[in-house]
């Protein structure tokens, strides 16, 4: 009897999005330019491997600004911060470099604009997530959190004709739409954001997982447990028909029993995951007979973001000084 054919369906797009790429590069360039240590408030992106790699190069991760020595350089993470965090940095004479993803900054601008027009803002997101804390801090008197469809019944607004929803950028597209649909049954005049808040990378990664999941006995998503978009990928895979789904930081965490009886394994990674970790997973699977890999592509991502303005200015000045010294 012939062995059943074993294969891997590799999702694309996967891994680093433009905002993560920019944030990680910001810390790397800051270390080159200013020298170690460079302080980073919170995890620059939600990935264990990225954080430990940057720590090895001289980045020091802290929870709050008061842990950073006065006058030192601090980088704010890709998830965004509330205005008070910028104020604290000024009070401590910190050189602050803001690596907030521009797509998160867009949501902050929306929050400020609707608050200025005296709207009630319903922010769909996960309680305690750094991005939600940062966005809420832009207009705390106007924003209330809606943590999924089941939280809709707790919503109270001042004027049902003057209410808008915004969202965290890394949510499940389907669950967010379900939350919005429920909100609209209670608040028919609810307005939507000017453009979709869920970022293109989150949507793209969920879309390709949905496409491959029905064929998969097991889906392995590379990502950390505190990464909202990585956790969502496992949920989306299971919702779309994968028989099983697991989140791992490293290939070494894959258990052989997950592969027992499996013929098709789906592989993807969250938006804060370097592709080298995915390649290690593929090598691990190949050693267990899953050597045939088919990459399944649903979108091409070409978006890039320039580095934070403060950093670019200093890099330019350093280059000019170097050129002057050489002449």
Start-end of H helices in 243-308: 256-259, 275-287
Q: Residue 86, annotated ligand binder?
A: no
**Is residue 129 part of an annotated ligand binding site?**
yes
195 labeled part of a ligand binding site: no
Known binding residue 216? Answer is no
169 appears as a binding residue in the annotation: yes
**Residue 208 token pair:** 């390709």
Q: For residues 300, 306, 307 and 310, what is the CA-based torsion angle, rounded to 10 degrees?
A: -160
> In whole angstroms, what is the distance from residue 78 CA to residue 46 CA?
9
Do 301 and 15 form a contact (C-beta atoms < 8 A)? no
Is 136 annotated in a binding site? The answer is no
Tell me: is residue 268 an annotated ligand-binding position. Answer: no
270-298 b/e (C-beta count within 10 Å ≥ 16 → b): bbbbbeebbeebbebbeeeebeeeeebee
Q: Which residue has the tokens 């002449």?
A: 327
Q: What amino acid positions are annotated as catalytic residues?
A: 131
Alpha carbon separation from 254 to 218, 260, 296 (Å, rounded): 11, 12, 22
Within 8 A by CB and 6+ apart from 298, the residues are 12, 13, 204, 207, 208, 211
**Is 272 annotated among the ligand-binding residues?**
yes
Q: Is 108 annotated as a binding residue?
A: no
Please give the annotated binding residues for [4Fe-4S] cluster, written as ranges: 17, 101, 199
- Residue positions forming the annotated binding site for isopentenyl diphosphate: 46, 79, 129, 227-229, 272
Annotated binding site: 17, 46, 79, 101, 129, 169, 199, 227-229, 272
Annotated binding site for dimethylallyl diphosphate: 46, 79, 129, 227-229, 272
């Amino acid at each position: 009897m012939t062995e059943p054919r074993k294969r891997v369906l590799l999702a694309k797009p996967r891994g680093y999005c433009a905002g993560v790429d920019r944030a990680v590069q910001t810390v790397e360039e800051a270390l080159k330019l200013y020298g170690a240590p460079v302080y980073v408030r919170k995890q620059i992106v939600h990935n264990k491997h990225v954080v430990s790699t940057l720590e090895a190069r001289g980045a020091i991760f802290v929870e709050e600004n008061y842990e950073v020595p006065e006058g030192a350089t601090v980088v704010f993470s890709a998830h965004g911060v509330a205005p008070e965090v910028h104020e604290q940095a000024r009070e401590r004479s910190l050189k602050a470099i803001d690596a907030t993803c521009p797509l998160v900054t867009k949501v902050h601008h929306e929050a400020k604009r609707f608050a200025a027009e005296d709207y009630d803002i319903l922010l769909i997101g996960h309680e305690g997530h750094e991005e939600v804390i940062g966005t809420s801090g832009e207009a705390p008197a106007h924003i209330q959190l809606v943590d999924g469809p089941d939280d809709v019944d707790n919503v109270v607004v001042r004027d049902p004709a003057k209410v808008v929803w915004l969202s965290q950028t890394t949510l499940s597209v389907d669950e967010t739409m379900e939350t919005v649909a429920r909100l609209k049954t209670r608040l028919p005049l609810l307005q939507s954001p000017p453009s979709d808040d869920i970022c293109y990378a989150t949507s793209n990664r969920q879309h390709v997982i949905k496409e491959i999941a029905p064929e998969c006995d097991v889906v392995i998503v590379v990502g950390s447990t505190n990464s909202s978009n990585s956790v969502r990928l496992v949920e989306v895979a299971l919702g779309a028909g994968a028989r099983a789904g697991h989140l791992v930081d490293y290939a070494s965490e894959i258990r052989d029993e997950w592969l027992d009886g499996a013929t098709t394994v789906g592989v993807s990674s969250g938006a804060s995951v370097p592709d080298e970790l995915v390649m290690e997973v593929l090598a691990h699977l190949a050693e267990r007979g899953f050597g045939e890999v088919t990459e399944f592509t649903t979108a091409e991502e070409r978006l890039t973001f320039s580095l934070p303005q403060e950093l670019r200015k200093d890099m330019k000045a350093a280059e000019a000084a170097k050129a002057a010294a050489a002449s």
